[in-house]
Copies of this chain bind each other. A is one copy, B any other.
Amino acid sequence: MNDGAKNERVRLSAEDWEDGALALIAEQGVGALAVEALARRLGVTKGSFYWHFRTREALLQASLERWEEYGEREVLAEIERIPDPLKRFPELFRRVAHELQPHRVYAALLKALDHPQVVPVMSRVSQRRMEFLTRLYQEAGLEPVVALHRARLTYAAYVGFLQLNFTLGLPRLSHEEFDAYVEHMIATLTPARSTD
């Protein structure tokens, strides 16, 4: 996946640039997304870039939208197929927990929220996910207001965890510790089975 030796010819498309941008963002953050740097990375020069995009801003925008679109059809649909609402939470949490790769970009974007362009994207994504969680909690028997609060709490815990363990290097969890933590989350945040 690296460039290795100079490939005889490269011929890039706009999508190649967007993917390259996302990779660079995941590795070094949004601030590191510079036209010439990315061009070097892809084995070409600026001249190429400005054929595909009118501006650097346009590239960032396109990359973010590409990421947003891609991450949309995710685990969510499969979760809803589980009949027992209470059994959805363990499954959801475990799946999300073990798909750490797609979270790389999300974490990178989280720590780049001072760049104005990423805010609306993250806002939309977070909003949709929280609405999904709220529905799940409602179907598990929580009152609408309580369900909203619980969804907020759950998603905040998710976001905060990414920050604390990806970005900050807080004492690296081992696999076992991480799994145990996830189970603790499940136990704490899954609603009790209703008594009526």
Chain A residues near B (Cβ < 8 Å): 28-32, 108, 110-115, 119, 122-123, 126-127, 130, 145-146, 149-150, 152-153, 155-161, 163-164, 167-171, 180-181, 184-185, 188-189
| Contact A184/B146 with A160-B156, A168-B122 known, Cβ cut-off 8 Å | yes
Chain B residue nearest to A121 in the complex (CB):
B168
Question: Nearest-CB distance from A60 to chain B (Å)?
Answer: 14
The 4 closest A-B pairs by CB, nearest first: A156-B160, A160-B160, A29-B114, A159-B160
Interface of A, helix, strand, loop or mixed by DSSP: helix
Tell whether, in the assembled complex, residue B170 and residue A127 are in contact, meaning their CB atoms are under 8 Å apart.
yes
Report the bound CA distance from A170 to B120 in whole Å: 10
Chain B residue nearest to A156 in the complex (CB):
B160
Chain B residues contacting A111 (CB-CB under 8 Å) are 110-114
Chain B residue nearest to A29 in the complex (CB):
B114
Tell whether, in the assembled complex, residue B114 and residue A184 are in contact, meaning their CB atoms are under 8 Å apart.
no
What are 25 A-B contacts defined by CB distance under 8 Å? Answer: A28-B114, A29-B114, A31-B115, A32-B114, A108-B114, A110-B111, A111-B111, A111-B114, A112-B114, A113-B163, A113-B167, A119-B168, A123-B168, A126-B168, A130-B170, A149-B184, A153-B157, A153-B188, A156-B157, A156-B161, A156-B164, A159-B159, A159-B164, A160-B160, A160-B163
Question: Nearest-CB distance from A37 to chain B (Å)?
Answer: 15
Chain B residue nearest to A189 in the complex (CB):
B188
Tell whether, in the assembled complex, residue A181 and residue B152 are in contact, meaning their CB atoms are under 8 Å apart.
yes
Question: Nearest-CB distance from A144 to chain B (Å)?
Answer: 12
Tell whether, in the assembled complex, residue A126 and residue B170 are in contact, meaning their CB atoms are under 8 Å apart.
yes
Chain B residues contacting A167 (CB-CB under 8 Å) are 113, 119
Chain B residue nearest to A114 in the complex (CB):
B29
Contact of A163 among B146, B163, B168, B180 (CB under 8 A): B163
